[in-house]
Structure 1
Amino acid sequence: MKLLGFLLVIRVSAAISSPPRWLNEGEKTTIQCSFVADEGVHWFLQGKDPMPKSLMYVSGSGRITPATPGKHTAKKSAGKVSLTINDFKKEDSGKYYCFMVKNMAIKFGRTTEVYLKEKPTTPKPTTTRTTEKTTLNIPAYEETTICRPSESAVTNKDELSCHIVIWAPLAGGAFFLLLALIIVSISYCRRPRRRRCQHQLRNRPKAEEFRKPTNSYY
Protein backbone atom coordinates (compact mmCIF):
# COMPACT_ATOMS: atom_id res chain seq x y z
CA MET A 1 0.00 0.00 0.00
CA LYS A 2 2.88 2.38 0.77
CA LEU A 3 4.42 1.56 -2.60
CA LEU A 4 1.09 2.34 -4.28
CA GLY A 5 0.90 5.68 -2.45
CA PHE A 6 4.47 6.52 -3.51
CA LEU A 7 3.65 5.74 -7.11
CA LEU A 8 0.53 7.88 -6.87
CA VAL A 9 2.53 10.87 -5.63
CA ILE A 10 5.00 10.54 -8.48
CA ARG A 11 2.22 10.12 -11.05
CA VAL A 12 0.19 13.06 -9.74
CA SER A 13 3.19 15.39 -9.86
CA ALA A 14 3.73 14.44 -13.51
CA ALA A 15 0.04 14.31 -14.53
CA ILE A 16 -1.47 16.82 -16.89
CA SER A 17 -3.78 19.15 -14.98
CA SER A 18 -6.64 21.28 -16.19
CA PRO A 19 -6.92 25.00 -15.34
CA PRO A 20 -7.62 25.47 -11.60
CA ARG A 21 -11.08 26.22 -10.29
CA TRP A 22 -11.74 28.83 -7.63
CA LEU A 23 -14.76 28.24 -5.43
CA ASN A 24 -16.45 30.12 -2.63
CA GLU A 25 -16.85 28.52 0.75
CA GLY A 26 -19.91 26.23 0.86
CA GLU A 27 -20.13 25.99 -2.94
CA LYS A 28 -20.82 22.73 -4.81
CA THR A 29 -18.77 21.47 -7.77
CA THR A 30 -18.53 18.34 -9.97
CA ILE A 31 -15.33 16.86 -11.45
CA GLN A 32 -15.37 14.49 -14.44
CA CYS A 33 -12.93 11.62 -14.88
CA SER A 34 -11.18 11.98 -18.24
CA PHE A 35 -11.16 8.32 -19.33
CA VAL A 36 -13.89 5.73 -19.99
CA ALA A 37 -14.06 3.37 -17.02
CA ASP A 38 -14.81 -0.29 -17.58
CA GLU A 39 -13.35 -1.22 -14.21
CA GLY A 40 -13.48 0.21 -10.69
CA VAL A 41 -12.38 3.85 -10.35
CA HIS A 42 -10.64 5.43 -7.36
CA TRP A 43 -10.86 9.14 -6.51
CA PHE A 44 -8.02 10.78 -4.56
CA LEU A 45 -7.16 14.25 -3.27
CA GLN A 46 -3.61 15.58 -3.10
CA GLY A 47 -3.87 18.39 -0.56
CA LYS A 48 -1.39 19.86 1.90
CA ASP A 49 -0.40 16.43 3.21
CA PRO A 50 2.36 14.66 1.29
CA MET A 51 0.31 11.46 1.02
CA PRO A 52 -2.87 11.42 -1.15
CA LYS A 53 -6.23 11.12 0.57
CA SER A 54 -8.71 8.49 -0.60
CA LEU A 55 -12.15 9.98 -1.28
CA MET A 56 -14.27 7.37 -3.01
CA TYR A 57 -14.31 4.09 -4.92
CA VAL A 58 -16.77 3.41 -7.72
CA SER A 59 -16.91 -0.23 -8.73
CA GLY A 60 -17.39 -1.48 -12.28
CA SER A 61 -21.08 -2.16 -11.55
CA GLY A 62 -21.55 1.39 -10.25
CA ARG A 63 -21.47 0.69 -6.54
CA ILE A 64 -20.22 3.71 -4.60
CA THR A 65 -18.13 3.49 -1.43
CA PRO A 66 -17.42 7.00 -0.12
CA ALA A 67 -14.72 7.63 2.48
CA THR A 68 -16.75 10.50 3.94
CA PRO A 69 -20.48 9.95 3.48
CA GLY A 70 -22.40 13.11 2.67
CA LYS A 71 -19.27 15.08 1.80
CA HIS A 72 -18.62 13.46 -1.60
CA THR A 73 -21.01 11.80 -4.04
CA ALA A 74 -20.29 10.02 -7.35
CA LYS A 75 -22.12 9.04 -10.48
CA LYS A 76 -21.31 6.54 -13.26
CA SER A 77 -23.04 6.60 -16.64
CA ALA A 78 -21.88 5.00 -19.89
CA GLY A 79 -18.37 4.51 -18.56
CA LYS A 80 -18.08 8.13 -17.40
CA VAL A 81 -17.50 8.65 -13.70
CA SER A 82 -17.99 12.01 -11.95
CA LEU A 83 -17.22 13.20 -8.44
CA THR A 84 -19.31 15.86 -6.68
CA ILE A 85 -17.96 17.88 -3.74
CA ASN A 86 -20.64 19.22 -1.42
CA ASP A 87 -20.11 22.20 0.91
CA PHE A 88 -16.59 23.11 -0.26
CA LYS A 89 -14.17 24.14 2.51
CA LYS A 90 -10.60 25.32 2.67
CA GLU A 91 -9.33 21.86 3.62
CA ASP A 92 -10.87 20.53 0.38
CA SER A 93 -8.43 22.60 -1.71
CA GLY A 94 -5.92 20.62 -3.76
CA LYS A 95 -5.53 18.36 -6.79
CA TYR A 96 -8.31 15.83 -7.56
CA TYR A 97 -7.61 12.88 -9.81
CA CYS A 98 -9.02 9.46 -10.69
CA PHE A 99 -7.25 6.26 -11.66
CA MET A 100 -8.21 2.76 -12.66
CA VAL A 101 -6.36 -0.54 -12.26
CA LYS A 102 -6.76 -2.83 -15.29
CA ASN A 103 -4.64 -5.85 -16.24
CA MET A 104 -2.11 -5.03 -13.48
CA ALA A 105 -1.64 -1.54 -14.93
CA ILE A 106 -2.62 1.83 -13.46
CA LYS A 107 -4.38 4.31 -15.70
CA PHE A 108 -4.61 7.88 -14.46
CA GLY A 109 -7.03 10.56 -15.51
CA ARG A 110 -6.47 14.27 -15.85
CA THR A 111 -5.78 16.18 -12.62
CA THR A 112 -8.23 18.93 -11.63
CA GLU A 113 -7.10 21.66 -9.22
CA VAL A 114 -9.77 23.19 -7.01
CA TYR A 115 -9.04 25.97 -4.49
CA LEU A 116 -10.95 28.24 -2.18
CA LYS A 117 -11.21 31.90 -3.09
CA GLU A 118 -9.41 34.13 -0.67
CA LYS A 119 -11.62 36.78 0.85
CA PRO A 120 -10.31 40.28 0.24
CA THR A 121 -8.96 41.66 3.43
CA THR A 122 -9.64 45.30 4.08
CA PRO A 123 -6.67 47.02 5.67
CA LYS A 124 -7.24 48.22 9.16
CA PRO A 125 -7.56 51.97 9.42
CA THR A 126 -4.45 53.42 10.89
CA THR A 127 -5.31 55.62 13.82
CA THR A 128 -2.91 58.43 14.40
CA ARG A 129 -2.53 59.53 17.96
CA THR A 130 -3.08 63.21 18.33
CA THR A 131 -0.95 64.70 21.01
CA GLU A 132 -2.63 67.47 22.90
CA LYS A 133 -0.61 70.59 23.14
CA THR A 134 -0.25 71.79 26.70
CA THR A 135 -0.17 75.51 27.04
CA LEU A 136 2.29 76.78 29.61
CA ASN A 137 1.58 79.99 31.48
CA ILE A 138 4.81 81.76 30.64
CA PRO A 139 4.96 85.38 31.72
CA ALA A 140 5.21 87.76 28.85
CA TYR A 141 8.48 89.64 28.78
CA GLU A 142 8.60 93.25 27.82
CA GLU A 143 10.19 93.90 24.53
CA THR A 144 13.65 95.42 24.93
CA THR A 145 14.71 98.08 22.54
CA ILE A 146 17.71 97.20 20.40
CA CYS A 147 20.05 99.96 19.50
CA ARG A 148 19.98 100.16 15.76
CA PRO A 149 20.92 103.26 13.81
CA SER A 150 18.01 104.61 11.82
CA GLU A 151 17.51 107.84 10.03
CA SER A 152 13.93 108.69 10.87
CA ALA A 153 12.54 106.73 13.84
CA VAL A 154 15.27 107.43 16.46
CA THR A 155 14.87 110.38 18.81
CA ASN A 156 17.58 112.23 20.73
CA LYS A 157 16.75 110.35 23.93
CA ASP A 158 17.11 107.04 22.20
CA GLU A 159 20.45 108.09 20.71
CA LEU A 160 21.73 109.09 24.15
CA SER A 161 20.67 105.79 25.72
CA CYS A 162 22.32 103.92 22.87
CA HIS A 163 25.60 105.79 23.35
CA ILE A 164 25.53 105.08 27.08
CA VAL A 165 24.90 101.37 26.50
CA ILE A 166 27.74 101.14 23.99
CA TRP A 167 30.41 103.36 25.57
CA ALA A 168 29.90 102.58 29.27
CA PRO A 169 31.25 99.01 29.08
CA LEU A 170 34.14 100.13 26.88
CA ALA A 171 35.15 102.92 29.25
CA GLY A 172 34.92 100.63 32.27
CA GLY A 173 37.06 97.99 30.59
CA ALA A 174 39.67 100.54 29.60
CA PHE A 175 39.80 101.89 33.16
CA PHE A 176 40.36 98.44 34.65
CA LEU A 177 43.07 97.68 32.09
CA LEU A 178 44.86 100.95 32.92
CA LEU A 179 44.62 100.26 36.65
CA ALA A 180 46.01 96.76 36.21
CA LEU A 181 48.87 98.14 34.11
CA ILE A 182 49.78 100.67 36.81
CA ILE A 183 49.75 98.03 39.57
CA VAL A 184 51.92 95.64 37.56
CA SER A 185 54.39 98.43 36.68
CA ILE A 186 54.76 99.54 40.33
CA SER A 187 55.29 95.98 41.61
CA TYR A 188 57.82 95.29 38.87
CA CYS A 189 59.80 98.51 39.36
CA ARG A 190 60.20 98.07 43.12
CA ARG A 191 62.31 94.96 42.83
CA PRO A 192 65.14 96.41 40.71
CA ARG A 193 65.35 99.53 43.01
CA ARG A 194 65.93 97.40 46.07
CA ARG A 195 68.79 95.60 44.36
CA ARG A 196 70.30 98.82 43.24
CA CYS A 197 70.11 100.29 46.74
CA GLN A 198 71.80 97.30 48.32
CA HIS A 199 74.63 97.57 45.83
CA GLN A 200 75.08 101.23 46.58
CA LEU A 201 75.22 100.48 50.32
CA ARG A 202 78.06 98.03 49.74
CA ASN A 203 80.10 100.59 47.76
CA ARG A 204 79.47 103.45 50.22
CA PRO A 205 82.77 104.66 51.99
CA LYS A 206 83.10 103.45 55.55
CA ALA A 207 83.37 105.80 58.53
CA GLU A 208 86.73 106.77 59.98
CA GLU A 209 86.47 104.53 63.02
CA PHE A 210 85.90 101.43 60.89
CA ARG A 211 88.99 101.94 58.76
CA LYS A 212 92.09 99.79 59.26
CA PRO A 213 94.75 101.28 61.52
CA THR A 214 97.59 102.91 59.73
CA ASN A 215 101.13 101.60 59.77
CA SER A 216 102.72 102.39 63.20
CA TYR A 217 106.22 102.16 61.90
CA TYR A 218 106.12 105.67 60.65
Structure 2
Amino acid sequence: MARFVSLLFFLSLSLCCCRSQGQKSKMSVRLLRGSSPPSLEANVELECVISDNSLSDSGVSWMRQNNDSAPQFILFITSLGRVASTENGKPPERFQAKKESKNYRLTVTSFKKQDQGNYYCIVNRNQRLYFSSGIQLHLPAPATAAPTTKATTPQPSTIPRSKDPGDCTHALNTEKAPKKGTGLSCDFYIWVPLASTCLLFFIALLATITVCQKTRRRRCKCKRPMNGSNGKPSMPNRYV
Protein backbone atom coordinates (compact mmCIF):
# COMPACT_ATOMS: atom_id res chain seq x y z
CA MET A 1 0.00 0.00 0.00
CA ALA A 2 2.79 2.41 0.89
CA ARG A 3 4.56 1.69 -2.41
CA PHE A 4 1.35 2.36 -4.35
CA VAL A 5 0.85 5.70 -2.58
CA SER A 6 4.46 6.69 -3.25
CA LEU A 7 4.16 5.71 -6.91
CA LEU A 8 0.95 7.67 -7.24
CA PHE A 9 2.55 10.68 -5.60
CA PHE A 10 5.57 10.70 -7.95
CA LEU A 11 3.29 10.18 -10.95
CA SER A 12 1.20 13.16 -9.92
CA LEU A 13 4.35 15.13 -9.28
CA SER A 14 5.71 14.40 -12.78
CA LEU A 15 2.39 15.26 -14.46
CA CYS A 16 1.96 18.53 -12.56
CA CYS A 17 5.58 19.62 -12.63
CA CYS A 18 5.19 21.93 -15.60
CA ARG A 19 1.95 23.37 -14.32
CA SER A 20 3.33 24.00 -10.85
CA GLN A 21 6.18 26.05 -12.28
CA GLY A 22 3.71 28.76 -13.26
CA GLN A 23 1.96 28.66 -9.86
CA LYS A 24 5.01 29.29 -7.64
CA SER A 25 3.91 32.78 -6.83
CA LYS A 26 0.63 31.54 -5.32
CA MET A 27 2.26 29.65 -2.41
CA SER A 28 5.41 30.08 -0.36
CA VAL A 29 6.85 28.83 2.92
CA ARG A 30 8.53 31.14 5.38
CA LEU A 31 10.22 30.72 8.72
CA LEU A 32 8.74 32.83 11.49
CA ARG A 33 11.10 35.25 13.24
CA GLY A 34 11.01 33.52 16.61
CA SER A 35 12.35 30.30 15.05
CA SER A 36 15.30 31.71 13.11
CA PRO A 37 17.84 30.25 13.00
CA PRO A 38 16.78 26.72 14.07
CA SER A 39 18.61 25.31 17.06
CA LEU A 40 18.74 21.88 18.64
CA GLU A 41 15.79 20.96 20.93
CA ALA A 42 14.06 24.26 20.10
CA ASN A 43 10.61 24.76 18.55
CA VAL A 44 10.64 25.73 14.89
CA GLU A 45 7.51 27.27 13.34
CA LEU A 46 6.85 27.45 9.59
CA GLU A 47 4.02 29.18 7.75
CA CYS A 48 2.56 28.27 4.36
CA VAL A 49 1.46 31.56 2.81
CA ILE A 50 -1.29 31.21 0.15
CA SER A 51 -1.89 34.29 -1.96
CA ASP A 52 -4.69 32.72 -4.04
CA ASN A 53 -7.96 32.65 -2.08
CA SER A 54 -9.28 29.76 -4.14
CA LEU A 55 -6.52 27.50 -2.74
CA SER A 56 -6.93 28.38 0.92
CA ASP A 57 -10.05 26.21 1.37
CA SER A 58 -8.55 22.94 0.14
CA GLY A 59 -6.30 22.06 3.03
CA VAL A 60 -2.52 21.71 3.01
CA SER A 61 -0.13 18.77 3.08
CA TRP A 62 3.29 19.33 4.60
CA MET A 63 6.29 17.53 3.09
CA ARG A 64 10.00 17.28 3.91
CA GLN A 65 12.92 16.20 1.72
CA ASN A 66 16.35 15.56 3.22
CA ASN A 67 19.31 15.80 0.83
CA ASP A 68 18.79 13.42 -2.13
CA SER A 69 16.23 11.16 -0.42
CA ALA A 70 12.60 10.84 -1.48
CA PRO A 71 10.10 13.39 -0.08
CA GLN A 72 8.52 12.38 3.21
CA PHE A 73 4.90 13.11 4.10
CA ILE A 74 4.50 14.83 7.49
CA LEU A 75 0.79 15.60 7.95
CA PHE A 76 -2.37 16.94 6.33
CA ILE A 77 -4.39 19.76 7.83
CA THR A 78 -7.90 20.48 6.61
CA SER A 79 -9.38 23.86 5.81
CA LEU A 80 -11.12 23.68 9.21
CA GLY A 81 -7.76 23.45 11.02
CA ARG A 82 -8.01 19.76 11.94
CA VAL A 83 -4.98 17.52 11.58
CA ALA A 84 -5.74 14.24 9.85
CA SER A 85 -4.64 11.13 11.67
CA THR A 86 -1.82 9.01 10.30
CA GLU A 87 -1.94 5.32 9.42
CA ASN A 88 -1.81 4.24 13.09
CA GLY A 89 -4.63 6.61 14.00
CA LYS A 90 -2.42 8.90 16.08
CA PRO A 91 -1.34 12.46 15.32
CA PRO A 92 2.21 12.79 14.00
CA GLU A 93 4.87 12.82 16.70
CA ARG A 94 6.59 16.16 17.50
CA PHE A 95 4.62 17.98 14.75
CA GLN A 96 1.75 20.38 15.30
CA ALA A 97 -0.34 22.25 12.74
CA LYS A 98 -3.01 24.94 12.75
CA LYS A 99 -4.70 27.40 10.43
CA GLU A 100 -4.33 31.18 10.78
CA SER A 101 -6.73 33.07 8.53
CA LYS A 102 -5.94 31.66 5.07
CA ASN A 103 -2.43 30.52 5.94
CA TYR A 104 -1.33 27.23 7.50
CA ARG A 105 1.36 26.80 10.14
CA LEU A 106 3.56 23.85 11.05
CA THR A 107 5.45 23.61 14.36
CA VAL A 108 8.35 21.19 14.86
CA THR A 109 8.77 20.67 18.59
CA SER A 110 12.19 19.77 19.99
CA PHE A 111 13.97 20.15 16.66
CA LYS A 112 16.45 17.31 16.14
CA LYS A 113 19.18 16.45 13.70
CA GLN A 114 16.92 14.11 11.69
CA ASP A 115 14.41 16.95 11.21
CA GLN A 116 16.77 18.82 8.91
CA GLY A 117 15.81 19.17 5.25
CA ASN A 118 13.74 21.13 2.74
CA TYR A 119 10.18 21.85 3.92
CA TYR A 120 7.33 22.79 1.57
CA CYS A 121 3.54 22.62 1.43
CA ILE A 122 1.22 21.18 -1.22
CA VAL A 123 -2.41 21.95 -2.10
CA ASN A 124 -4.52 19.46 -4.05
CA ARG A 125 -7.42 21.20 -5.81
CA ASN A 126 -9.47 19.86 -8.72
CA GLN A 127 -6.99 17.02 -9.22
CA ARG A 128 -4.12 19.45 -9.59
CA LEU A 129 -1.16 19.78 -7.23
CA TYR A 130 0.18 23.20 -6.27
CA PHE A 131 3.65 23.25 -4.75
CA SER A 132 5.10 26.02 -2.68
CA SER A 133 8.68 27.16 -2.72
CA GLY A 134 10.74 25.18 -0.22
CA ILE A 135 12.75 26.41 2.75
CA GLN A 136 15.93 24.78 4.06
CA LEU A 137 16.15 24.03 7.77
CA HIS A 138 19.62 23.04 8.98
CA LEU A 139 21.34 23.28 12.34
CA PRO A 140 24.27 25.68 12.54
CA ALA A 141 27.66 24.11 12.09
CA PRO A 142 29.43 23.40 15.39
CA ALA A 143 32.12 25.92 16.25
CA THR A 144 35.60 24.50 15.92
CA ALA A 145 37.99 25.20 18.78
CA ALA A 146 41.07 27.21 17.98
CA PRO A 147 44.21 25.14 17.83
CA THR A 148 46.25 25.40 20.97
CA THR A 149 49.91 26.21 20.55
CA LYS A 150 52.34 24.61 22.92
CA ALA A 151 54.77 26.96 24.60
CA THR A 152 58.21 26.31 23.26
CA THR A 153 61.06 26.37 25.74
CA PRO A 154 63.99 28.47 24.57
CA GLN A 155 66.94 26.37 23.61
CA PRO A 156 70.28 27.30 25.20
CA SER A 157 72.35 29.24 22.75
CA THR A 158 75.76 27.93 21.90
CA ILE A 159 78.52 30.45 22.48
CA PRO A 160 81.33 30.13 19.92
CA ARG A 161 84.75 29.89 21.45
CA SER A 162 87.53 32.11 20.15
CA LYS A 163 91.26 32.01 20.55
CA ASP A 164 91.40 35.46 22.13
CA PRO A 165 92.77 35.21 25.72
CA GLY A 166 90.22 37.81 26.82
CA ASP A 167 87.40 35.40 26.07
CA CYS A 168 88.67 32.80 28.56
CA THR A 169 87.27 34.74 31.52
CA HIS A 170 83.84 34.70 29.95
CA ALA A 171 84.15 31.02 29.10
CA LEU A 172 84.87 30.11 32.74
CA ASN A 173 81.64 31.75 33.90
CA THR A 174 79.48 29.80 31.46
CA GLU A 175 77.97 26.40 32.03
CA LYS A 176 80.54 23.66 32.35
CA ALA A 177 80.74 21.45 29.32
CA PRO A 178 83.14 18.79 28.07
CA LYS A 179 86.24 20.37 26.62
CA LYS A 180 86.44 19.66 22.95
CA GLY A 181 88.12 21.23 19.97
CA THR A 182 89.09 24.87 20.45
CA GLY A 183 88.34 24.76 24.21
CA LEU A 184 91.97 23.66 24.82
CA SER A 185 93.24 27.09 23.74
CA CYS A 186 91.89 28.68 26.93
CA ASP A 187 93.64 26.04 29.05
CA PHE A 188 96.85 26.76 27.20
CA TYR A 189 96.68 30.47 27.96
CA ILE A 190 95.94 29.80 31.62
CA TRP A 191 98.35 27.01 32.48
CA VAL A 192 101.45 28.07 30.46
CA PRO A 193 101.95 31.39 32.33
CA LEU A 194 101.27 29.64 35.63
CA ALA A 195 103.80 26.89 34.89
CA SER A 196 106.37 29.46 33.74
CA THR A 197 106.00 31.40 36.96
CA CYS A 198 106.39 28.25 39.04
CA LEU A 199 109.48 27.30 37.02
CA LEU A 200 111.05 30.73 37.61
CA PHE A 201 110.43 30.44 41.35
CA PHE A 202 111.97 26.98 41.34
CA ILE A 203 115.08 28.20 39.47
CA ALA A 204 115.43 31.15 41.84
CA LEU A 205 115.19 28.79 44.80
CA LEU A 206 117.90 26.53 43.39
CA ALA A 207 120.12 29.53 42.75
CA THR A 208 119.65 30.77 46.29
CA ILE A 209 120.49 27.35 47.74
CA THR A 210 123.64 27.10 45.57
CA VAL A 211 124.87 30.56 46.59
CA CYS A 212 124.30 29.80 50.24
CA GLN A 213 126.33 26.59 50.00
CA LYS A 214 129.26 28.34 48.30
CA THR A 215 129.25 31.10 50.90
CA ARG A 216 129.33 28.56 53.68
CA ARG A 217 132.37 26.80 52.17
CA ARG A 218 134.28 30.07 51.89
CA ARG A 219 133.78 30.81 55.55
CA CYS A 220 137.27 31.09 57.38
CA LYS A 221 138.20 28.36 59.93
CA CYS A 222 140.80 29.76 62.50
CA LYS A 223 143.37 27.26 63.97
CA ARG A 224 145.47 27.50 67.16
CA PRO A 225 149.24 28.44 66.66
CA MET A 226 151.65 25.47 66.69
CA ASN A 227 154.94 25.59 68.84
CA GLY A 228 157.69 23.11 68.83
CA SER A 229 158.60 20.46 66.46
CA ASN A 230 156.02 18.00 67.47
CA GLY A 231 153.36 20.30 66.36
CA LYS A 232 151.49 20.40 69.67
CA PRO A 233 149.85 23.61 70.60
CA SER A 234 151.74 25.67 73.18
CA MET A 235 150.22 26.67 76.42
CA PRO A 236 149.17 30.21 76.92
CA ASN A 237 151.59 32.55 78.65
CA ARG A 238 149.46 32.92 81.70
CA TYR A 239 150.11 29.31 82.62
CA VAL A 240 153.95 29.62 82.45
| TM-score for the superposition, normalised by structure 2 | 0.48
| Unaligned stretches of 5+ residues in structure 2 | 1-5, 157-174, 190-240
Does residue 81 of structure 1 match 2:104?
yes
State the match for 1:40 in structure 2: 59
State the match for 1:105 in structure 2: 128
CA shift for structure 1 position 4? 2.0
The one-letter code sitting in structure 2 at the alignment partner of 1:112 is: I
- Superposed CA RMSD in Å reads 3.6
The one of 27, 36, 46 equivalent to 2:42 is 27
CA shift for structure 1 position 26? 1.9
Counterparts of 1:41-190 in structure 2 under 5 Å? 41-65=60-84, 69-127=92-150, 130=153, 137-139=177-179, 140-143=183-186
Deviations 1:136-163 (A, max 9, x none): 8412423368xxxxxxxxxxxxxxxxxx
Deviates more, 1:43-52 or 1:118-127: 118-127
| TM-score for the superposition, normalised by structure 1 | 0.52
3-state SS in 1 of match to 2:56: coil
Deviations 1:52-111 (A, max 9, x none): 111111134433136673411000244422111111223222221111111110012232
CA shift for structure 1 position 132? 7.2
The structure, 1 or 2, with the larger RCO (C-alpha pairs under 8 Å, 6+ apart) is 1
Quick check: 1:75–1:82 contact (8 Å CA) kept in 2?
Answer: yes
The one-letter code sitting in structure 1 at the alignment partner of 2:184 is: Y
Deviations 1:27-48 (A, max 9, x none): 2122111224312321001212
| Unaligned stretches of 5+ residues in structure 1 | 146-218
The one-letter code sitting in structure 2 at the alignment partner of 1:138 is: P
CA shift for structure 1 position 49? 4.1
Judged with a 3 Å threshold, the aligned counterparts in structure 2 of structure 1 residues 125 and 65 are, in CA distance, closer, same or farther, namely farther
- Count of residue correspondences: 143
Deviates more, 1:74-83 or 1:96-105: 74-83
The one of 1, 7, 17 equivalent to 1:2 is 7
